[in-house]
Homo-oligomer: A and B are copies of this chain.
C-alpha cells in the first residue's frame, strides 16, 4: 500500500482521548470514533482486526469448531424464555415499527444457538457438537470507556459446545483453554495473560477468565505468579474457599478481561428443552459450554500493553503490514524495492508521501509495523537499506538479498 493513497492519515490532534489505545489508534488512523462507545475501523485497523479474527478462526477450527453466523436481531420470546429479557441491563431492546415485534440486539447468543442446536440434536450420536461465530455484538453500556476496550458495539467470537456427558464437557473446556493459550501467544499477550478463576454464576462453582495485566484494566485480580494463575476479586469477596493457591502470596493487580469461558451445563438447554436419546433410548438434557473472546478488545489490549512512548508496537502476526518502507530520496530505488518485496509476498506499507524525514520516521514509530526499512542516499552509499525492528534500537545495513531473507526469517512461524 502506498501511504500517499491510504484513506486515513495520521494526526496530532486528539480531543479527549479516553485511554492510550484510543489516543494511539485514532492518531495513527486505525480507527475513528463515531459516537460514544462506537468506532469505525479504517483500512489499517480493519487489517489488524482481520488478522486477529483469522488467528481465532484457525485455532477454533483446529479444535473442531464449525463457523456459523447468527443474526443481531433476536426475538424477545427467546430472551423471555430464559428470563434474561428482564435481567440483562445492557440489552438493546426495541420494537419493529411495522411488525410491532419486540426484538433485542444480540449481546450474546445463547438465546439463539440453543434452540438452533435443538433442531439438529436428537440422539447421543449427534453429540458432541461445536459451533462458533465471529460477529458484531451490541451492549447498551452505561458508561462506555477505554476506547475499543469496552464499546457499545464490538467484535466477538463466541463458541458454543454441546455434550452428552459432563466428563466430555470438562474435557472440551480444557481443550479450549489450550486453544486460547495458543492464540494469546500469537497475539503477543501470553506473558501478561493469566487464567483467572471467576464467578460461575448460578450454574457452576467457577468460570474462568483470561486476564491481561494492565493499569487500565477494569478488574482487580489476585495473582499467583508462580503457578501463572489468578483469582478475580469478585470471588475472593463472595466465596470463603479459594481455588488451588489459597490466599497467601497472592499479589493484587489490575487486569483487562480478554476472554471468558463458562460451563453452562443445563442452564440454557433446560429452558429450551434440548434433549437427546441415549443408547438405551432414555431422554437426557444436553450439556453446554460457552467460550468468548473479543477481537476488538484484543486489538485495544495489544496497544495498551505493548506500545511505547513513540507509538504502537504490533506483534508480527497482527501487524497490518510486514514492512514499513520509507523513501528518503527522490529516485526509483524505493519503488523498485517496494515492487520486489511484494513479488516476494511481503506486505509493504510504502511511505511515498512528500513529507520530511522527521515526519516519516515519527509516523513509522506511531504506526508500529515490526520492521522499518529506509532507502536513503546514506543507506545506498553504505551498500543497501537501513533495516530496524520496531522494538529494537539498533539499525543494520542490508543488501536486497539479505533484507528479503531477514524479513522471511522474521515472519516464519
Contact = CB atoms under 8 A, between A and B. Distances in A.
Contact of A140 (B39, B71, B74, B97): B97
A116 B32 CA distance: 8
A99 B66 CA distance: 37
Most chain B beta carbons < 10 A, residue from A7, A38, A40: A7
A306 B92 CA distance: 39
A191 to B, nearest CB: 29
A77 B7 CA distance: 24
A267 interface: no
B7 A131 contact: yes
A138 B73 contact: yes
A345 interface: no
Nearest to A34: B71
A9 interface: yes
A72 B45 CA distance: 17
A227 interface: no
Interface string A133-156: 000101011110000000011000
B40 A142 contact: no
Nearest to A94: B94
Interface size bracket, A side: 35 or more
A72 B106 CA distance: 12
A200 interface: no
Contacts of A5: 64
Contacts of A142: 98
Interface string A12-36: 0000000000000000010010111
A70 B40 contact: yes
Contacts of A49: 69
A120 interface: yes
B71 A43 contact: no
A14 B200 CA distance: 39
Given A74-B34, A120-B8, A41 B68 contact: yes
A46 B92 CA distance: 26
A75 interface: yes
Given A92-B96, A96-B140, A72 B153 contact: yes
B36 A153 contact: no
Interface in A330-344: none
A119 interface: yes
16 contacts: A6-B66, A7-B66, A8-B120, A34-B70, A34-B71, A34-B116, A38-B71, A40-B68, A71-B136, A73-B138, A92-B97, A93-B97, A96-B152, A98-B141, A98-B143, A105-B105
Interface of A: 5-9, 29, 32, 34-36, 38-43, 45-47, 49, 64, 66-75, 92-94, 96-99, 101, 103, 105, 112, 116-117, 119-120, 129, 131, 136, 138, 140-143, 152-153
